[in-house]
Amino acid sequence: MHDGDGDSNVSRRALLRASAGTVALSTVGSARATGDGRTDDAARRFDQDCPDATIEPGMTHCEGTSREGCADDHPATAELQSAVAESLETQFSDVDALIDAGFKPYFDTLEVGDDSWSHWIHPEFVGDDATLDPERPESVLVDNETWRAMGVMFVATRDGEPVEPPAVYGTDAGDGDGDDADADAEDLCSPWHAHTGLPGRFAWWYYRQAYERDYEEGDLSFPCQTPCMLHVWTLDHPESVYAHDAPPAEYRDLDPADKPDFETDAVPGEDTLGWEVLPDDVVPERRPGDFSLLDPWGIDLAP
């Protein structure tokens, strides 16, 4: 695979040597409907060393984290949400701005479910040593109808590798014995999650191959889970500022973005944002749908 810049694809032989392979999320969704056991068998090959992994979408709380203390009206939450909103408004407001800033499309169509919003991810921000920095969000969350940013996803990485995530605020609430330390403790708000389901793990694997080009170093391993991630929505959300799913459509009071500078016949507000409306130099050579669980080696990836 390559990023449209003329570099060679990962070879079929390299994929055949890999200890774990590529998958298509469309087959995950159809497996239960068709009763085709081959899909489940193929997926389990990628999970043999991952006891907590699931074929269907799944998440887990990151170790040492908790949402118990999280409140939308807490000053720390309000401060973080406000900083994220300012960053999006001034730097990363729409698809044009994201492309100019170096973000890469990372569409939620990789997952079975709601495709009305998408992730755009920034390899440089994933690879730096900042975490929970509104000025350098690892991913921006975009409404696919208006092409407008509506939140961010922080990813707990340092130099591209997973790290223990920081809390938004608070500490462990104490041991309940009534001492001064317990009295001073504040319930922990650290709403980080990791994906253990096959769709989310594939999405991270796809990002690593398509944009970080791990295959060039011979690394085609399939992760047991993603790094820890945290959403912050700048729109009102009926669940939480930190909710995993996007705000429902009725909460997305967004004006369509201006017609983008790049050449496309699509119009924000009229056409849904997707791979097909983006310029060629933004779209990876191999899209997620090019890979199949039922026949993971059946696509000729040779240059």
**pLDDT tens-digit profile of 25-74?**
333 333 333 344 555 555 555 556 788 888 888 999 999 999 999 999 99
Tell me the CA distances in angstroms from 135 to 80, 130, 174, 189, one per residue in order. Answer: 11, 10, 33, 21
| CA 37 from centroid of its chain's CA atoms | 28
Interval 235-248: pLDDT, tens: 999 999 999 999 99
Q: Is residue 35 part of a domain?
A: yes
CA–CA distance, 266 with 260 (Å, rounded to integer): 9
Q: Is residue 113 part of a domain?
A: yes
pTM reported for the whole predicted model: 0.80
Residue 1 pLDDT? 33
Residue 216 pLDDT? 87
Tokens (6 digits) for 145 = 């109808």
Give the count of domains, the chain.
1
The sign of the dihedral angle between the CA atoms of 260, 116, 203, 137 is positive
- Name the average pLDDT for the chain: 80
Q: Is residue 7 part of a domain?
A: no
Q: Is residue 301 part of a domain?
A: no
Q: Is residue 299 part of a domain?
A: no
Q: Is residue 209 part of a domain?
A: yes
Query: Residue 65 belongs to what domain range?
Result: 12-290
Secondary structure of 246-286 in the HEC alphabet? CCCHHHCCCCCCCCCCCCCCCCCCCCCCCHHHCCCCCCCCC
Interval 250-274: pLDDT, tens: 999 999 999 999 999 999 999 999 9
Q: Is residue 133 part of a domain?
A: yes
Interval 128-140: pLDDT, tens: 999 999 999 999 9
Q: Is residue 204 part of a domain?
A: yes
CA–CA distance, 189 with 169 (Å, rounded to integer): 5
